[in-house]
Amino acid sequence: MMTTMMKNKATNYFFRYSRFFHSDQRFNLNYKNSLLLSGIPSCSKTPGIRDWTPNSPFLGSIRGCRNALNASALDHFRVGGGFQFRRFTSLSSEVQRNPSFSRLNSDDIDFFRSILGEKNVVQDEDRLLDANTDWMRKYRGSSKLLLQPRSTEEVSQILKYCNSRYLPVVPQGGNTGLVGGSVPVFDELSLQVIINLGLLNDIISFDKVSGILVCEAGGILENLSSFLDNLGFIMPLDLGAKGSCQIGGNVSTNAGGLRLVRYGSLHGSVLGLEVVLADGSVLDMLGTLRKDNTGYDLKHLFIGSEGTLGIITKISILTPPKLPATNVAFLGCKDYSSCQKLLVDAKRKLGEILSAFEFLDNMSMDLVLNHLEGIRNPLPPMHNFYVLIETTGNDESYDKEKLEAFLLSSMEGGLISDGVLAQDINQISSFWQIREGIPEALMKAGAVYKYDLSLPVEKMYDLVEVMRTRLGKR
């Protein structure tokens, strides 16, 4: 996984994404996490948007629009008439809104109170401010209503009603996303209703034989991890935001996390889902079989769909057993090529015990050291790159011996300039704090633009260098 800081001189700009759809479709214009109210969206050709397929159905066209941003798309401004424009190179593009959306009224509020109760229909300004603001404090919506359903049935009733009234909704989990996907941006008319799933947090069942956990979507990742830890299991993903993020949001965004090297993506771990569609109908795919050839495997459409196809309410997920032996090494490397070769060697020589391989550059390390308290560099002076390697297994002495042999051969081969092996749980924690603290340090350093990019390993740092060069010219 790559973590790096890209200096941006244009920190005073307020940057937002937008979508561009045919005007005869009825759905929310929120940047990432909109829920379709009717029909399948398709892109309409707009000047300044590149590398996409116009009028292409399904989610691919949405991603094509979103990912068409480029390094020069920093100029954002507002004009009259309730529209917003964003400049791409020398051209502008207009956010097209559907006039058929309805405005919230007192009858709507009364209906929601009748099914949710008074306290779960939130209109308090302070609580709405939190729900309307993303974790990075870059995006702020203006929704006047936050709903907190307690069951799948309540989610179904809400969506059925909103669909009939043409009220746009935004599903929200722990609101820990870094790109504004869970807040209702571009909503100057305050049309959107936020549906937060935090009260759907029950653990339904756990099978100790198969390791299959069935839970509701609002379960906090850290709470689920604590529950499993007592039973000798772990969640197949780990995130820095585990204390706040919800498993439903993790699945909706197909979060990778810090255990991706060992356990893969959620497409391989999630066995089943329960989803409420935009019209309120419930799609029950909550299977617990690792192999099921009876029909289409529809759950994969919803993993990573980010709320555009429906709201995930329940999840069945395969959890691996907790292994007793954990070792962590923190290493310094001279260049990115050495990091790549180290990864290849780690996969070959550490094999089944390799559980994490994270790298960061010296600018990221400098950022953490300067903006977070209690963090120190384990390998002074500064190195160009740092790599964190974690192994987990059953035999403490065997795993440690295997890791030490790998580190020695890597040092002799010139791939490592320096390194240290954690001696206890406190050192393990301190090494991980460096990696996990980068998002917080970025926020303290100033304005941040974040992207979830997937690139071949050999091209990852090329992107960083190109972006630093381009931004340095502005």
**DSSP state letter for 316:** E
Query: Do 432 and 334 sit in the same domain of this protein?
Result: yes
Domain count, the chain: 3
Query: Do 295 and 352 sit in the same domain of this protein?
Result: no
* pTM to 2 decimal places: 0.75
- Higher-pLDDT residue of 46 and 424 is 424
- CATH number at 179 reads 3.30.43.10
Which structural domain, as residue segments, surrounds residue 302? Answer: 203-318
- CATH number at 241 reads 3.30.465.10
Domain membership of residue 297 (yes or no) is: yes
Within 8 A by CB and 6+ apart from 201, the residues are 215, 216, 218, 219, 220, 223, 246
Query: Do 395 and 257 sit in the same domain of this protein?
Result: no
pLDDT of residue 95: 59
Q: By mean pLDDT, which of 59-63, 108-112, 216-220, 233-237 is the weakest?
A: 59-63
Give bridge partners of residue 215 from the DSSP assignment. 203, 315
| Cis amide leading into 381 (omega within 30) | yes
CA–CA gap between residue 441 and residue 86 (Å, rounded): 28
Query: Do 207 and 190 sit in the same domain of this protein?
Result: no
Query: Do 6 and 154 sit in the same domain of this protein?
Result: yes
| Residue bearing tokens 């404090």 | 137
Query: Do 133 and 269 sit in the same domain of this protein?
Result: no
Q: Which of the four pLDDT bands, split at 50, 70 and 90, describes residue 9?
A: very low
- DSSP assignment string, 250-267: HHHTT---TTHHHH--HH
CA–CA gap between residue 62 and residue 283 (Å, rounded): 23
Query: Do 106 and 155 sit in the same domain of this protein?
Result: yes
Q: How far is CA 318 from the centre of its chain?
A: 20
Cβ atoms 172, 106 nearer than 8 A: no
- Helix ranges restricted to H, 149-242: 152-165, 221-229
- Higher-pLDDT residue of 415 and 1 is 415
CA atoms within 13 Å, Cβ hemisphere of 15 = 21
Within 8 A by CB and 6+ apart from 78, the residues are 84, 85
For the residues 195-214, what does the mean pLDDT come to? 97
For the residues 430-456, what does the mean pLDDT come to? 86
pLDDT of residue 215: 98
Candidates 83, 99, 76; CA nearest to 16 is 76
Question: Of 318, 341, 366, which residue constitutes the final position of a domain?
Answer: 318
Query: Do 300 and 346 sit in the same domain of this protein?
Result: no
Within 8 A by CB and 6+ apart from 159, the residues are 35, 169, 276, 277, 278, 279, 280, 311
Over residues 359-409, the pLDDT tens digits come to: 999 999 999 999 999 999 999 999 999 999 999 999 999 999 999 999 999
CA–CA gap between residue 131 and residue 169 (Å, rounded): 13
Domain membership of residue 448 (yes or no) is: no
CA–CA gap between residue 278 and residue 236 (Å, rounded): 29
Phi-psi sector, 328: left (phi>0), alpha (psi -120 to 50), beta: beta
Query: Do 192 and 207 sit in the same domain of this protein?
Result: no
Hey, what are 416's tokens? 């490592």
Query: Do 80 and 165 sit in the same domain of this protein?
Result: yes
CA–CA gap between residue 316 and residue 272 (Å, rounded): 5
Q: By mean pLDDT, which of 196-210, 282-296, 322-336, 402-416 is the weakest?
A: 282-296
Long-range interactions of 46-52: CB distance < 8 A, separation 24+ = 46/20, 46/93, 46/94, 47/88, 47/91, 47/92, 47/93, 48/87, 48/88, 48/89, 48/91, 48/92, 48/93, 49/20, 49/88, 49/93, 50/88
Other beta carbons less than 10 A from residue 207's beta carbon = 12
For the residues 274-289, what does the mean pLDDT come to? 96
Query: Do 419 and 345 sit in the same domain of this protein?
Result: yes
CA–CA gap between residue 419 and residue 170 (Å, rounded): 46
Question: Of 151, 169, 196, which residue constitutes the final position of a domain?
Answer: 196
**Most confident stretch, 92-96, 125-129, 137-141:** 125-129
- Average pLDDT score over the chain: 81
Within 8 A by CB and 6+ apart from 69, the residues are 17, 88
Other beta carbons less than 10 A from residue 424's beta carbon = 8
pLDDT at 455 over 60: yes
Query: Do 245 and 143 sit in the same domain of this protein?
Result: no
pLDDT of residue 86: 41
pLDDT at 358 over 90: yes
